[in-house]
Amino acid sequence: MFDKYIICEDGFQNVSEGGQVVGFQLMARLPYYRGLGVSMVEDLGVKIDSDPVAREAIRVTLHGRTYTLDEMEVEYDDRWEFGEPGVVTVLQPGGLTPGAHTVEVSPQLRVSYLPFILKGRDVKTLTLAA
């Protein structure tokens, strides 16, 4: 329903720790018209230039707290609100090269009154500054 709003146009950058580039990040929203408890995010698939990112390499930061996807499954006190951008970080030594990259984000959400997993998908070309 709101798939075209999943990937935010800003916030696409490499991430450094201790002087080393350890990955990259982007901003994303949930494609659902209400906020959800963090534990209701079943999965958050990410592809860069058609290459899928391993689940273990994905982190999501909301309200100053960073979660692995496994940690999100058992987080019952935090919510990802409608329209709220979350920071999605992918751990990838060296990050990405500057320039245009095709980014795909595919959240899978468990909504209490739906008898199926709600799946979303957004693909955008984002440019990483040099």
pLDDT tens digits, residue range 23-34? 999 999 999 888
Question: Half-sphere exposure of residue 53, counting CA atoms within 13 Å on the CB side?
Answer: 29
What's the whole-number mean pLDDT along residues 86-112?
A: 97
What's the whole-number mean pLDDT along residues 100-128?
A: 95
Q: Is 37 helix (H, G, I), strand (E, B) or coil?
A: strand
Looking at per-residue confidence, does 32 or 62 come out higher?
62
Q: What span, in angstroms and rounded, lies between the C-alpha atoms of 80 and 84?
A: 7
Q: What span, in angstroms and rounded, lies between the C-alpha atoms of 74 and 38?
A: 8
The pLDDT, as a whole number, for residue 26 is 98
Whether 1 shows a pLDDT value over 80: the answer reads no
What's the whole-number mean pLDDT along residues 51-55?
A: 98
Which DSSP helix (H) or strand (E) runs through 65?
Answer: strand 65-68
**Model pTM score:** 0.94
The pLDDT, as a whole number, for residue 2 is 85
CA distances (Å), origin 10, targets 27, 38, 111, 126, 128 = 7, 23, 28, 8, 10
What's the whole-number mean pLDDT along residues 84-93?
A: 98
- Reference 30, options 128, 129, 96, 118; nearest CA is 118
The pLDDT, as a whole number, for residue 36 is 95
91 by Cβ neighbours in 10 Å (0-12 / 13-18 / 19+) ranks as middle
Residue 130: which pLDDT band, with cuts at 50, 70 and 90? confident
